[in-house]
Structure 1
Amino acid sequence: MSPSWLRELLLGARMALAGGRSGLARAALTALGVGLGVAMLLAAVSIPHMMAARSERGASRADQNYGMEVALTDRSTLVGVTDMEYRDEPIRGRLIQGEGRDPVVPPGLTALPRPGEMAVSPALARLLLSPEGALLRERLDYPTTAVIAPEGLQGPAELAFYLGSDLLSFDTGGVGRRNAFGDEYTSEGLDPVLLLLVVIIFVVLLLPVAMFVASAIRFGGDSRDRRLAGVRLVGADTGMARRIAAGEAMLSALLGVAAGGLMFLAGRSFVGSVELMGISVFPSDVQPDPVLGALIVLAVPAAAVVVTVLSLRRVMIEPLGVVRRGGDTRRRLWWRLLLPALGVLLLLPLVGSVSREGEGFSEWQVIGGVCFILLGVATLLPWLVQSVVRRIHGGPVAWQLAVRRLQLDGSMSARAVTGVAVAVAGAIGLQMMFAAVEANYQRYSGQDTTRAQMYTAVRLPHGWSDAAGFTARLAATPGVTSVTSRSIVSTSQPVTASGEEPSAPLTIADCDVLRQFAEIGACTDGDAFLVESREVPPPAPGTTVTLNEEGKSGSWTVPAGARTVQPLRDPLNGENTIGVLVTPAALSPAIRDRSDLQLQTLITVDPAAADMLERVTNTRWQLDPLGTTWELNPTVVDNKFAQVRRGLFIGAALTLLLIGASLLVVVLEQLRDRRRLLAVLVAFGTRRRTMSWAILWQTAVPVVLGLVLACAAGVGLGAVLLRIIDAPVAIDWAGIGVVSALAGGVILLVTALSLPVLWRLMRAEGLRTE
């Protein structure tokens, strides 16, 4: 770069801050607009580190054995899993007991809590002290003696506790032994369909942000061109004027990058107090990827120079003024159609190639294809606005003012809503794809919520003799209307001649309960019933079966008088009951008094009663902290799919906030740049209400056209994506309407927020000039 070019760039940088209050306001608005986008981009490239940090902390505190044999040593610690929920918020709970002389301690603690004492996360401590935690205090009514440090938590908002115990046994179900906490962190990865969704989500959410940054770079274009005309007057040629403009844009972009960095750092300091869709992170987790962060810092100033130079193509800067190409200049359509066509061509080779069980795909090919299709929306919108408004004539004064402004320079208004149109198009395509694959990531559980709404499982420390008392206590819980209790023990039959070892469960319950699972007819305590089934034939009368439950074994002979009965559907899984049904008296005392028996209960509750899950869990906790309680649900959603969908909601919420904030900055900059024109119109008698409606119409026309274009592009993108995963093309018109209404509502809200500024700019003071 020659010294003269450098001087011209520096002159442009100086001019960016020149012009008194007006120049400073222009530079501040540019820095704010660019900074919002840069902060969002830095946050986006921090997501991989945030999720990796959460996963690594989760792996470092891993305490489940998953079938591994762990020997008893001086370092052994027993851990019992007692996870739960409180008002839809998950709580990670552990019963913990030192087994060796120097037991290991989980991350986040310096010592194991003593029996009956509890260590809690900061978030759980706040919840227990709040009025909202009254029911939870009934359950976790233990003295808190320690607070879990950040290294033992996945996020600052996580609810977690360790409860000291002296009653754990390694032979008890749900209890594991650890000689060291933590497992090596390995990610299972996503199947190709979910990976495709994640790639598209990132493109759809980040592309509008980048477009808002490009739009913010062009703030104050009219004022800049007038200043360049003054530079031409003192001897600068056209090339010099463009280099000065490039220097001005570069400084503005650098200020925006600095502002974005400060916004990012300020936001990171508060991130620990924010929880989105159940995910929270510590401020130290929010670290941009070094390579991508450096790319953002370098790309934004470079993009500012490119955008500025390209914007000057339609401007003739002469020493005596600025001449812009008029609104009659037709925009060319052909090259604008090339972008979406190129995007489709990139995606077509992938049609039918992506499935859950299939191999991977080229992420860059998908990114390129989706980007080109969405960029086609951005390039087509100015042409569409010009083509429509040039054919509009007549109407009220406010309407004519708005239309005439769009006819003279509709590109500025179109740019203001381009990001919204791109976001809507991408959201519609994603919505179509989510709707198509959602059924593949859900399964029918078969649980009958008309017969029961909750399920609990507790240990019977003294065998079946405890069942009646446990059932009565659950039934006495306020809001519970009925309780159905049974115990199920796995069995194995003698090996057949073919080498098979048939097995059928043994269900223990009273006669009234057994009638809910089979057509048993007459029944007295001591009876046994064989449930007819082709898939799982029951053992014949007189057969001796082996009872297997958590490593303990025993034997039981099927009574000779056992009757064969027809099954009924089990409300827990929707399938026919199988195996052997027995009343307690049909079993020997040795079997009835086994300490490994588990009592399963199906509970119906009063629909009008509040917090029933919490109340039932409180009762169950008193009976067995290691037990389980959950609500029945006819469908079960795949956890990874739910996480991807949750990530989309978080990103969409943040993007929507950025769109609103950035659009407000764009509108304010446009009003500020036209303040003298607005003041002159009012001075000549134009009513303020007329001007307000003119501004509204001027925004509404590009918005409507942008949403129409976005819907068409979104449906087209969704159709291509559905063909890639070999799914039938289906359009969710209701969902499209919701997405479009949200986008339109954001723009209308921004317009309403800008009206006070508009009214202030229409005062007589706006006629003053510097």
Structure 2
Amino acid sequence: MTGPESLGDTDEPGIGPKNLGGADELGRGLTAPGRVGVRRWFADLALGGRLALSGGRESWTRTTLTAVGVGLGVALLLLSAAVPNILASRTERISARDDLRLSQSEIKPGDRTLLVSDFDTTYHDRGIRGRVLRAEGPAAPRPPGVAKLPGSGELVVSPELGKLLAAPEGALLRERLGGTIVGTIGDQGLGGPLEYAFYLGSDTITAGDGGARRIDGFGSQYEREGFDPVLLILIVIIFVVLLLPVAVFIGAAVRFGGDRRDRRLAALRLVGADGAMTRRIAAGETLLGTLLGLGVGAVVFLAGRQLVELFTISDMTVFAADVQPTLGLALLIALTVPAAAVAVTLLALRRVVIEPLGVVRHAGATRRRLWWRLAPSALGLALLTPLIGGVSQTGPAANEYQVAGGVVLLLLGVAALLPWLVEAVVARLRGGAVPWQLATRRLQLSSGTSARVVSGIAVASAGAIALQMVFAGIGAGYTTSTGQDPNRADLQFSLRNPAGHAASEAIAARFRDTAGVRSVTSYTTVYATGTTTPAGPDVPPAAGTVLIAGCAALLELADLGRCADGDVFVRQPSGEPGEWPGPGEEVLFGDSEDPDARRWTVPATAPTVAVRPDPMGNMPAILATPGALPAGDLRAGRTEIYVGLDPARPDAIEYARNTAAGISTSMSIYQLTDRQESTRFTTIRRGLYLGAILTMLLIGASILVSTLEQLRDRKRLLAILVAFGARRSTLSWSVLFQTAVPVGLGLALAVGTGIGLGAVLMAMVNRPVRVDWGSIGLIGAVAAGVVVLVTALSLPALWRMMRPDGLRTE
């Protein structure tokens, strides 16, 4: 054991008996050792709170640091507790404005009906939701948030879209939408404050035949598709990884200024308090700081939630009013945080003997035990091992609580093992430059505080490494090949066209005249089904797509040999059921139940050719030149235009979209890509990045507060070193090393634990283990950046404490 820290050696006001603020009251309230009732407990807790407020500047400072530290953690916990309400509120607003009305397939026109057509678009990577409206009667329904239906050529826009249209950068979008802005969509009609949306009035859209749909009201109650077991497990792990460092930080925050508090408690022994009473008083002092921290956290949360409207995650924005924690979770936070803070304080005092003449600590000669620090990790592995190989995208859901418990225990093992690791390593450090020696000697004397604070960044890094391995491993399962070929075209424009291929060529000509367009290919397609009775009940009728284009365009899809207008070519059969039967067969264009559907017989002389997919990956069954099919046969036809853009024109895609909008607002636009990632998977990953940023900011704040608290504790020592000639740079480097050593050891431990946890998780979902060293390096770089930033922010306080007035004593 180390020697006692004598009260007579202190230079701190508020530690001696004469400065306890209420010593007479304390003396009158003391009781003889023995059984302590509930009333005595509350009295001692209340006394600890009063001493925290009346114990002078040092007590106030410690209480403030504790309140700020706990407040930061509580604010992040409240934000997490608000996630269910955020999602529920957004879903409710989106459902309320839904205009599909699938449950009402047959609605007759009347005074209460409305025609709606989609006009979604994209502008400079901003997704914009658009609808074209036409009222069929005076009582036509209005979308939520719209005070009055727009007339023909009028626009009602969201606030964010209004700002974009008013700015110079929105010039091309103004040209695309046209119309005059006559109103703004209210919050109840938007998914979020930064959403781009509009309603455009029109008197030309019509219902049916692929045009507008008729509705008599807005709103629907669709059941949202649930997450598959793998994504559900991933979400559970993300919440554990993001919130566990917060709990570790709160545990460290309630121990700020513990050394000074213990010396004040020793002074209480001089006026008759026993050891149990001092622990209760210490718990009361911590409880007050924690309760104040709950208030600080609530204030920070209420102020910070106003900032959520400035951010977009996976095209999702959030109203500040939606960021409200659910009552149950808020009460759980309000009860759990103070209880945990008191438990941490009492647990910390087990290693301290507080006597009337000073404080004796058990940390000097007694080394930390290793065996129990390995127990959490072992228990975590025991929980996760039975799940290995039992989780799949299509299988039954795994036990989320078992997964969460296993991951929590494994990551808690990092927090438990790090103090032992830091102590074991720094005990063997010798020599080096003066800043290095100052830092290592300080760690050798008291490494617990630094290790406790740094454990937050170690836990977060270990979880981040494991998550990166999981994302890298399962990403292929949520990324599919589209079959599209972006090397052959950049965009596809599709529009219903009953007028035949001549109309398609007229549309293609408009795209050829568009700035930034370097190539245009025009097709007309129509879906057809065979009229021959299938060979068996399980054999589907022959069906396929007939593609009409000029010979030059057809040559891009097949080696035709000789081609002239009027020719027809049939794709080589592959033997699959329901495939196109071949030349000489009669087919039906469009809906077989339509009495006016046209019939056509494939020429018996049509040659069979090998056909390759079009740029969208579709495989036509028949290639035909325009002369082979009269325009009247293509009532169900569609125009498909493939456009290649000039990469030297950055706005070429916007010019092409403007041309499409000028042709028809109902024209579908697709940007070709060879691979597509699941939207849910992408949203989860982006949510992880945002949560990781917030967690890292919290950890950085915790390390900064802890560093300032340690500097304040060594104020007089720093002033003495400067008086004896120590340079500012020397002490600044020592502060950096004092933080960097535990962080470096914590990262080394995090890498090992993270890779191990990631391997177990990958085995659970039956994926091969792959270590993403680039991501691990990025995590290390972020941690190093946090250390450098914290050191830079602590330098002004360090330099103030080096002043000569730090030598003053009482």
Normalising by structure 1, we get a TM-score of 0.96
Aligned pair partner of 2:706 in 666, 684, 688: 666
Aligned-partner residue type, residue 123 of structure 2: Y
Partner of 2:34: none
* Structure 2: unaligned runs, 5 residues or longer: 1-36
Aligned-pair CA distance for 1:495? 2.4
1:504 match: secondary structure: strand
Aligned-partner residue type, residue 709 of structure 1: L
Matched, 1:84 2:126: no
Partner of 1:598: 638
Aligned pair partner of 2:516 in 458, 467, 479: 479
Matched, 1:135 2:179: no
Question: In 2, are the aligned partners of 1:12 and 1:248 still within 8 Å (CA)?
Answer: yes
Matched, 1:440 2:477: yes
- Distance in 1, Cα, partners of 2:228 & 2:731: 55
Question: In 2, are the aligned partners of 1:346 and 1:368 still within 8 Å (CA)?
Answer: yes
- Distance in 2, Cα, partners of 1:612 & 1:329: 72
Partner of 2:95: 59
Question: In 1, are the aligned partners of 2:548 and 2:623 still within 8 Å (CA)?
Answer: yes
Deviations 1:648-705 (A, max 9, x none): 1221122122222222222222212221221122122222211111111111111110
Partner of 2:17: none
Task: Note the 1:508-547 alignment, pairs <5 A.
Answer: 508-534=548-574, 535=576, 537-547=579-589
Aligned-partner residue type, residue 10 of structure 1: A
Task: Note the 1:621-636 alignment, pairs <5 A.
Answer: 621-636=661-676
RMSD: 1.8
Question: In 2, are the aligned partners of 1:445 and 1:636 still within 8 Å (CA)?
Answer: yes
Aligned-partner residue type, residue 747 of structure 1: V
- Distance in 1, Cα, partners of 2:500 & 2:201: 25
1:327 match: secondary structure: coil
Partner of 2:754: 714
Aligned pair partner of 2:466 in 425, 429, 432: 429
Aligned pair partner of 1:113 in 150, 156, 162: 150
Aligned pair partner of 1:700 in 740, 748, 752: 740
Partner of 2:764: 724
Q: How many percent identity over aligned positions? A: 51
Aligned-pair CA distance for 1:185? 4.5
Deviations 1:591-626 (A, max 9, x none): 25x3x5321111111222203322211111111111
Matched, 1:350 2:369: no
Q: 1:170 to 1:365 in 2, by over 3 A?
A: same
Partner of 1:557: 601
Matched, 1:586 2:622: no
Aligned pair partner of 2:56 in 13, 20, 33: 20
Matched, 1:747 2:787: yes
Partner of 2:5: none
1:645 match: secondary structure: helix
1:388 match: secondary structure: helix
Question: In 1, are the aligned partners of 2:499 and 2:631 still within 8 Å (CA)?
Answer: no
Partner of 1:236: 273
Aligned-pair CA distance for 1:628? 1.7
Higher deviation after alignment, 751-760 or 267-276: 267-276
1:162 match: secondary structure: strand
- Distance in 1, Cα, partners of 2:255 & 2:168: 52
Task: Note the 1:308-323 alignment, pairs <5 A.
Answer: 308-323=345-360
Aligned-partner residue type, residue 13 of structure 1: G
- Distance in 2, Cα, partners of 1:70 & 1:119: 28
Higher deviation after alignment, 376-385 or 536-545: 536-545
Matched, 1:400 2:465: no
Aligned-partner residue type, residue 206 of structure 2: S
- Distance in 2, Cα, partners of 1:332 & 1:174: 75
Aligned-pair CA distance for 1:767? 2.2
2:197 match: secondary structure: strand
Matched, 1:45 2:87: no
Aligned pair partner of 1:492 in 529, 546, 569: 529
Higher deviation after alignment, 238-247 or 321-330: 321-330
Matched, 1:614 2:650: no
Q: 1:700 to 1:71 in 2, by over 3 A?
A: same
Aligned-pair CA distance for 1:736? 1.4
Aligned pair partner of 1:303 in 337, 340, 344: 340
2:566 match: secondary structure: coil
Matched, 1:31 2:82: no
2:160 match: secondary structure: helix
Q: 1:511 to 1:378 in 2, by over 3 A?
A: same
Aligned-pair CA distance for 1:65? 4.2
Aligned-pair CA distance for 1:549? 6.1
Partner of 1:212: 249
Q: 1:197 to 1:131 in 2, by over 3 A?
A: same
Q: 1:452 to 1:154 in 2, by over 3 A?
A: same
Aligned-pair CA distance for 1:560? 4.1
Question: In 1, are the aligned partners of 2:516 and 2:651 still within 8 Å (CA)?
Answer: no
Aligned pair partner of 1:676 in 705, 710, 716: 716
- Distance in 2, Cα, partners of 1:373 & 1:631: 44
Partner of 1:388: 425
Matched, 1:71 2:115: no
- Distance in 2, Cα, partners of 1:653 & 1:616: 38
- Distance in 1, Cα, partners of 2:488 & 2:791: 53
Aligned-partner residue type, residue 716 of structure 1: G
Question: In 2, are the aligned partners of 1:62 and 1:183 still within 8 Å (CA)?
Answer: yes
1:703 match: secondary structure: helix
Matched, 1:186 2:223: yes
2:522 match: secondary structure: strand
Aligned residues: 766
Aligned-pair CA distance for 1:18? 2.9
Question: In 1, are the aligned partners of 2:237 and 2:407 still within 8 Å (CA)?
Answer: yes
Normalising by structure 2, we get a TM-score of 0.92
Aligned-pair CA distance for 1:354? 0.9
Q: 1:175 to 1:768 in 2, by over 3 A?
A: farther
- Distance in 2, Cα, partners of 1:530 & 1:198: 50
